[in-house]
Structure 1
């Protein structure tokens, strides 16, 4: 099976290199140096000429933040219209992923909920090495999530950062019901997770004091995205610097699980949150790991 795959890979290589079909089939595997070499290797071996071709393929320049967000918006438009192109999901993309640096390709970092109804690459019509994804219940930004985001922005060098909430979010729903006195027993590790959502629910309840229960949940979901962005800015000096220097754009969005549509939240509100955080004396100030107590995780 391995040799068969290698043979197919080499056929692709020879044809792409200009070898005619007739010439190829007149070339026996014992006499053709390329075939002889590749049949001895798996299709993941970099000594194979086909793999070398992919390994040395020059990556396209990263898009600017605005272009990266436009690519996500265009991908979602294709997804909801039934015209998805499913880019970078073929065998060629897998071969490239085995030899390339994702930092030369990924154009967005997305933190979203673990909910199975939110298939990130699908809804943005993206593929292998397109999006650096962080998933956690309630799309909260706590220590582990922020560390992952910093890796996506500073090391994978994605120019866009999306905090993606979604309708029917179970985590936000649970916190909202608990806020109105309808709580139930939770497994031991869930409370420290959802306590990041509580400020958002309280803010939604304050803004929409006439709403209760299920009627408040959609507003709490929106506030939870804003809360995650605030928590990110409060605890990640690197993210703040990248945004202020124009290298990264942070934006919030809500995915509708019933329609597939992503609704984008105002970028001006993100700018306002960043300005407020910059004035907050409790914000983290050291961009690099240290043991200083003054730079502990801020809430």
Structure 2
């Protein structure tokens, strides 16, 4: 009987393959290019420049090549880190929301010469009906919140069944899908207010005292700690080559199929409505900002008016 040799999968699935001497292809190219550059410089200037001067000139270049090949910063290789720094330095820092290019200022404006602002290009154009996110030429994205199950507390047979169902869903994918696990802040103000308000209607004074004590406990936790909760999101993206309506229908159908398959695992897939999708995008752009109440969000067809002055 032939047994299949198991293959060890690294924890970092994006880890590059090592091909020569424990070095990746990128590292081999950088070191080879550095060595070739130094060898070419030696062939050109070796007979004209003293060896000590030549070594002093090429030593910094060699050290720089080695650092770029094997050095890392915050989990990113130094060559990519350097390219990102150069790209950041050359990119405009002032971005404004405009559909087209930013026109130059009129000549009569006495302003000091500076870099012109650039248009802000966001991947999301807005939230359309049914809570789907309009990605413009990239199609639409349906975002759903998924419940969780405790995998560690299951028996081995139950764990195998969960993995099999999850693998069946992965094999059924017909388009791009993303699983996003994010942490968001929890505001217990409404919970504390509800608890204090309901404490007055409790039938026994001891229950009222316990409710007030628990409310004080929650208020103390909120004041001393940053409370977070984990949220699991399933994003289904569909291109809009055949029209936005067809893309919306396909995205909703794929999300419905995912909910039907994952329900076998005890998972609940709930499509975010327009208000929840707007709140999600707002929190992604500014996670530290306080959450906006649902009453302050305008619907898609609602006219935005100025609020009353107080």
Pair member with larger Rg: 2
Question: Shorter-chain TM-score category?
Answer: under 0.3
Q: Which structure's relative contact order is higher, taking Cα pairs within 8 Å and 6+ residues apart? A: 2
Please identify which structure carries the higher strand content.
2
TM-score, normalization by structure 1: 0.26
